[in-house]
Structure 1
Amino acid sequence: MEKRIVVGMSGGVDSSMTLLLLKQSGWQPLGVTLMLEKWGEGCRENACCTAESLRVAKSVCEKLGVKHFVVDAKADFKREVMDYFIDELSRARTPNPCITCNRRLKFAKLFEWAQANGIDYVATGHYAKTAKRADGKTVLVPPKDRVKDQTYGLCLLPQEWLARCVFPLGGYTKEEVYATAKREGFEFFLKTKQSQDLCFVESAAVPAFLEEKLGRRGGEIVDANGKVLGRHDGLHFFTIGQRRGLGIEGENYVVGFDAEKNRLIVSKDRKDLLKRTVLVTGFNYSTGEQPTEPMKVTAQVRYRQEPTAAIMHPAVGGVVKAVFKEPAESVTQGQVCACYGDGGACIGGGFIESAR
């Protein structure tokens, strides 16, 4: 008997080929598209919140003879992702909406729908793998395509979900996924731009979005000694490590925020971006097991960063401390720190509270 599985369908090549591969390997997939809130009318053509992406998801399901369902998640998406995004920026923190969406919205809604329909498994088009340990625990491990590795974005998923997640693309490279699409008659995906940045607002419209939601909150741009170098329109327009668009003379990097005084702190020395110790809150242990002794790990503090050697210390008062062997650059409050153990297995992750 075929096992039923819910496939999150965004209308992109990855989720579409996930559906195809599952059907070809004997599963009985059901496509589910989440309708998400967006801001403005300019969302790019392949964002997962557009009418076009819904049309593509539906047509792929029809072509493969798979039932397609639509779940209205707009209100939940606005509350759990968009409002979170604005709230973090208002506190001079740099949010991570994609990882937060995976934990609070996307997988939560897919598993909720699956449970309501008597289905145990959920699949998505993420480039990741799961492996079963001898003790029965499920661990998140790196995919074949290390360049596309998305385990960082999944580090907040709890064990109860990981045990029922299927990631077919974990055994493929992006090029192989495109080759599969072409071979199976989905050539149009080869001409579709891949999604980048925020799904709920067009990249060019982000400044307008931020101005509408948070306004302009002008303040001083200062160096580490407090010398005033210029003015800014709002801390929410900047992020740690940014060096373009500062509006001051010379090449400077954003190295910090003084939220209390509404000051943007910059430096000409890139070394001022380096931090060795990171304090992490809300840490999710992927296997449900909390270490009781310091352990050697590799840690990642932003997308596209190669995990680097660190010591992860047991939580004290709900705060996990990671100490890097070599200082890490642009560690940002509000972003996610993910830790990995033997073989690249994801231990879990949490939100960066501070770094020094």
Structure 2
Amino acid sequence: MSDTFLPGSGFDTYESQDKVLVQMDGSRECAVAVRILQQQGFAVAGAAVRLAAEQTADAESAKKAAEALGIECIVLNAEALAGQDADVLGDGGTPLFAALLTAADKLGMQYVATAHRARVETGADGVHTVCPPAGTGSDDSTILAALPQETLARLILPLGDFAPEDVAEMAEDFKV
């Protein structure tokens, strides 16, 4: 796979300085998502969301992965959001997305992204729909389908247009 890229994921028309906050988890898939977003012209920053005290080591691992990618990463201590009802969480719908969107707003970023395997499509009526990812393998569309429209409008899922084997190949190409 070459570095001249990427097939029309729909996000390659954004301004070169649009900013996106990526949920970091230290995985190769997350690293590939960061590289795809960078190639599409986004200014990328990372966020490790800690929903429980036991996730401190995971958050540190995510920060190290972000450092290896050359991006800044903040740790969002969102323990207070864990277990909250959807009405308390507001537009985020889940503790993870509530934390990401709140941080993105404070940092002046329009978009949030994750390495979930699904796609978000916008209909002519402006309604956002979560669709299954390309190829076979894991499908996170069911998990994300319950997110509110306000969240879906700001969510970028860079891996959704690629089959798992393509993501693995990109990880090798990107040396992540």
Check whether the contact 1:5–1:121 (CA below 8 A) recurs between aligned residues: yes
CA contact (8 A) 1:130 1:141 kept: yes
Structure 1 residues 14-50: Cα deviation after superposition (integer angstroms, max 9, x where no partner): 22221121112211111000112166xxxxxxxxx25
For the 8 Å contact 1:7–1:30, the answer to whether it is kept is: yes
| Residue in structure 2 matching 1:156, options 146, 151, 163 | 146
SS of 1:168's equivalent in the other structure is coil
User: When you count helix as a share of all residues, which structure comes out higher?
Assistant: 2
Distance 1:167 1:29 in 2: 14
Question: Distance in 1 between the 2:155 and 2:45 partners?
Answer: 14
SS of the residue corresponding to residue 64 of structure 2 reads: helix
Q: Of 70, 73, 78, which residue of structure 2 is paired with 1:73?
A: 78
Check the 8 A contact 1:32/1:70 in 2, yes or no. yes
Deviations 1:267-297 (A, max 9, x none): xxxxxxxxxxxxxxxxxxxxxxxxxxxxxxx
Report the Cα offset of residue 162 of structure 1: 0.5
Q: Which runs of 5+ in 2 are unaligned?
A: 1-15, 86-91
Q: Deviations over 1:198-239 (max 9, x none)?
A: xxxxxxxxxxxxxxxxxxxxxxxxxxxxxxxxxxxxxxxxxx
Structure 2 distance, partners of 1:151, 1:70, is 26
1:182 to 164, 172, 175: 172
Q: Is the 8 A contact 2:26 2:66 kept in 1?
A: no
Counterpart contact for 1:138–1:159, Cα < 8 Å = yes
Q: What is the CA-CA distance between 1:58 and the residue it aligns to?
A: 1.9
RMSD: 2.0
The aligned residue for residue 21 of structure 1 is 36
Match of 2:123 in 1: 133
- 3-state DSSP of counterpart to 1:31: strand
Instruction: Provide the residue aligned with 1:11 in structure 2.
Output: 26
**SS of match in other structure, 1:170:** coil
What amino acid is the match of 2:154?
R
Relative to structure 1, the CA distance from residue 18 to residue 71 in structure 2 (aligned partners, 3 Å threshold; closer, same or farther) is same
CA contact (8 A) 1:32 1:110 kept: yes
In the TM superposition, what are the counterparts of 1:1-356 in structure 2 within 5 Å?
A: 1-37=16-52, 49-51=55-57, 53-77=58-82, 79-80=83-84, 103-186=93-176
1 or 2, which has the higher strand percentage?
A: 1
- Corresponding residue pairs, total: 155
Change (3 A) 1:80 1:147: same
1:184 corresponds to which letter in structure 2? F
Letter matched to residue 96 of structure 2 = K
Assess, with a 3 A threshold, how the Cα gap between structure 1 residues 21 and 56 changes in structure 2: closer, same or farther.
farther
SS in structure 2 of the partner of residue 70 of structure 1:
strand
Distance change (3 Å), C-alpha of 1:162 and 1:127: same
Q: Which runs of 5+ in 1 are unaligned?
A: 40-48, 82-101, 187-356
In the alignment, the residues of structure 2 paired with residue 38 and residue 70 of structure 1 have an alpha-carbon distance, to the nearest angstrom, of 12
Q: Distance in 1 between matches of 2:94 and 2:157?
A: 19
TM-superposed deviation, 1:103: 3.3
